[in-house]
Structure 1
């Protein structure tokens, strides 16, 4: 198989802000290594020529040559005749003590299918006959589903009409479509850090220049010095006022991956600042109703807007991918009717609409959403508590948060070894996402995202695999390039 070439421009985008306090070649080699370990740079990729990359990054060829040499020495880069410098994962880790009989995937934060889903699908099929006289192509959503979604918003405290709703192929489709319509190449886009990886990928693909704003976990280092958990409000408001981003991506309820929820008064200030700067806030509420034991009432984010100008600054998206099942690809956008019309007009270049049968299924399920969410809360409470107990027993040095909702825990390992731990875990049958996957600049090496949605038996297997991986790092660490601390 021939190596896949990567241009200097593409690598520059992946690298982000790679310059640190160390030598330039060390910073460059470490960042390329992290991209490879984290899966953002695929193995068997051919890196740009040294001179070409140096010119693109504004450094000397000698710096790039030294960085490539460091990667080769550590086993992350191979010189292939006729193909240049090709990245590869080193085989430094010892093999697993026992054969791997199956892979446990903890890289996705998802829920098992809703009980009774098959029966609901059969019933929905009976509703299909009244739609068979049309073309079957539906770019905006069937009227009954749009009205049901509008009613769901009204019940939650946000007046909404059906013409403010567009049905999409899940939340990710909604993010990508909004990005394509609202962003022009070079526009600034505000985004949380850490954040949902596929969101920043879609925003970058649309040409956005990302402006990150920090969201701190409740147990994150630095709180003792005055840093509060949650959103860095001064930085957030300053980014809106000074950068004038055209779009801002926020997940204000059980933020992915930190689990933080934005206070009500802060929501009001952020909406006002966005309206004043002409910024559209793309608010991802995919898991907003996954409340386990959060205190207080939290209506939809847009309910905190005052007046038409502020209301127009908030676009909400949601889906049933978490609450019902990931295999039901139904999401939606709530926005001003004028924007909905723009989105419908732009949609046909990528897809021709949302499947009718799945829309009918979700239309039937929406009236049962309070019961569905209560069932999910019970599952998530049991899963969260079980995972916390197991991690405390096996890894007393880790800092494990106690999220009051959502679906994941943002675990602080205490050492910058997240990518290496994730790679070692694969040798023990576990796929897990390292912290840097949720950043745009290789940060968050001290963190690991763990879903608590799997069943107790799966979580026990995952914790056991992490234990073996953690021990293997002490016995057989990956070649060091500056990031590995002592593992105890």
Structure 2
């Protein structure tokens, strides 16, 4: 029984969600706090829900008021609840940590933390053409607010060809997909605004929402039933009134979930009807490895209903810091002005090279997808051989597999144990709010096959030597994840 749309959760409703406290392990107050924390991090109990009075909940649970009071106190200490004047105790999600650790450039490390393939062969010829064209631009000041006309035109043409008619003035060129997303949050979020996010989701988005003063409201996503997001997002929209949503309709990071054509139409219409502006991240939309392309999420919606962000980091190379956003022309101008205040423009040489690559992107993607298919097969085969007790769904696209670990195995423990051996992992908790997903591990298939095999062999040895997880869990290790 979900909380009512006024965001006030009755004692009976919460008791139903929690279940029998006496059946939960550990002290009753800690078990109750842990269960409420789980409900908040999974989205079953939306952030911002008013919790029932201590006495009422104690009566429904058959527990003492001291137990409930102690549980509420622990939730407040962990950042999952706050006392608000006139509202009592209200659920919250902890603010994301601002401590980030850059990906290492050490070639000796085996990096299974970052889903970032090497450059495609077309990068160097594209820069050669860019340098040949540079003299025509070098006589000017070099600033191109919102992007070079030829690059904006190439991006707009690509959107149009995919079924989303676009003019160049609807496009703003940014320094990568993450930069495009950050600009939207910076320009449009006010402190305290709620943002609907898939759960789990891309960690960078969680940090960008927090940096803009927003608060994430999770909606569960499952690759096995991707369209279930439609119902969970509709519930969050009704209960929490988010200002914005951040979605990855195609091969969501990290689950690999992909909304069907019908599912994305229903979800788009639902959020638009609730007045939610959706930021659609398409950075992996073209990396379909089994089935073909699907219609863009924004197709059929007013241009102002969405801001679609994308870039070349996954299709071409992460070192080419070129991304873009696409929306209504007036909103694009507003977001372009935000970019201009921050950094004036993106580098001209990079944009000239990107214009060459975008025009040839279909051919580049065919090659990239073929390479990724082979590496996906290597990773899945190695995991099945070396770690047969892991559950590894076969991703239909994207860059990584979202693995479920055996019971009692902690991804935080694996990450910590692997680091001294030169194996870099991204623990599952990095992809969630609060303490969720310690039983999951995202494994990219972006390394060359021989390095993938070596990495999985090392991972299997670390897993075999792993001691049991401590009762209190493992401290989080900040990590930049791409």
Q: Give the superposition deviation at 1:299.
A: 2.3
Indicate the residue corresponding to 1:199 in structure 2.
205
Indicate the residue corresponding to 1:455 in structure 2.
448
Indicate the residue corresponding to 1:293 in structure 2.
290
- Encode CA deviations 1:390-443: one digit per residue, 9 max, x unaligned: 100111111111111110000111224111111111132200111111001111
1:255 aligns with 2:252: yes
Indicate the residue corresponding to 2:135 in structure 1.
129
**1:445–1:159 distance in 2 versus 1, CA, 3 Å:** same
1:59 to 73, 96, 107: 73
- Encode CA deviations 1:276-305: one digit per residue, 9 max, x unaligned: 1111100000010001112x5402211142
The gaps in structure 1 that reach 5 residues or longer are 1-19, 31-56, 65-99, 219-227
1:244 to 229, 241, 250: 241
Distance 1:417 1:477 in 2: 9
Q: Give secondary structure in 1 for the equivalent of 2:465.
A: helix
* Count of equivalent residues: 390
**1:28–1:112 distance in 2 versus 1, CA, 3 Å:** farther
Q: Give the superposition deviation at 1:265.
A: 1.1
1:360 aligns with 2:374: no
Indicate the residue corresponding to 1:275 in structure 2.
272
1:23-422 paired onto structure 2 within 5 Å = 23=27, 59=73, 102-218=108-224, 228-294=225-291, 297-305=293-301, 308=302, 311-415=303-407, 416-422=409-415
**1:482–1:368 distance in 2 versus 1, CA, 3 Å:** closer
Distance 1:121 1:319 in 2: 17
- Encode CA deviations 1:71-105: one digit per residue, 9 max, x unaligned: xxxxxxxxxxxxxxxxxxxxxxxxxxxxx993211
TM-score normalised over the length of structure 2: 0.76
Distance 2:128 2:324 in 1: 23
- More displaced, 462-471 or 110-119? 110-119
Contact (CA 8 Å) 2:33, 2:72: kept in 1 or not?
no
Contact (CA 8 Å) 2:261, 2:295: kept in 1 or not?
no
Superposed CA RMSD in Å reads: 2.8
Distance 1:282 1:106 in 2: 27
- More displaced, 206-215 or 132-141? 132-141
**1:28–1:366 distance in 2 versus 1, CA, 3 Å:** same
Distance 2:363 2:107 in 1: 37
Distance 1:324 1:175 in 2: 19
Q: Give the superposition deviation at 1:471.
A: 1.2
**1:483–1:193 distance in 2 versus 1, CA, 3 Å:** same
Distance 2:33 2:420 in 1: 27
Q: Give the superposition deviation at 1:323.
A: 1.0
Distance 2:424 2:297 in 1: 33
- Encode CA deviations 1:314-368: one digit per residue, 9 max, x unaligned: 1100000111111100000001111111112222332121000000001111121
- Encode CA deviations 1:130-188: one digit per residue, 9 max, x unaligned: 11232112220010000000011111121110010000000111111100111100111
Contact (CA 8 Å) 1:188, 1:247: kept in 2 or not?
yes
- Encode CA deviations 1:221-270: one digit per residue, 9 max, x unaligned: xxxxxxx3554322211222332211100000011001110011111111
The gaps in structure 2 that reach 5 residues or longer are 1-20, 36-70, 79-105, 476-482
Indicate the residue corresponding to 2:52 in structure 1.
none
Q: Give the superposition deviation at 1:29.
A: 11
Distance 2:156 2:235 in 1: 34
- Encode CA deviations 1:22-43: one digit per residue, 9 max, x unaligned: 556689999xxxxxxxxxxxxx
Distance 2:238 2:470 in 1: 44
Distance 2:340 2:391 in 1: 47
Q: Give secondary structure in 1 for the equivalent of 2:115.
A: coil
Indicate the residue corresponding to 1:86 in structure 2.
none
1:481 to 469, 472, 476: 472
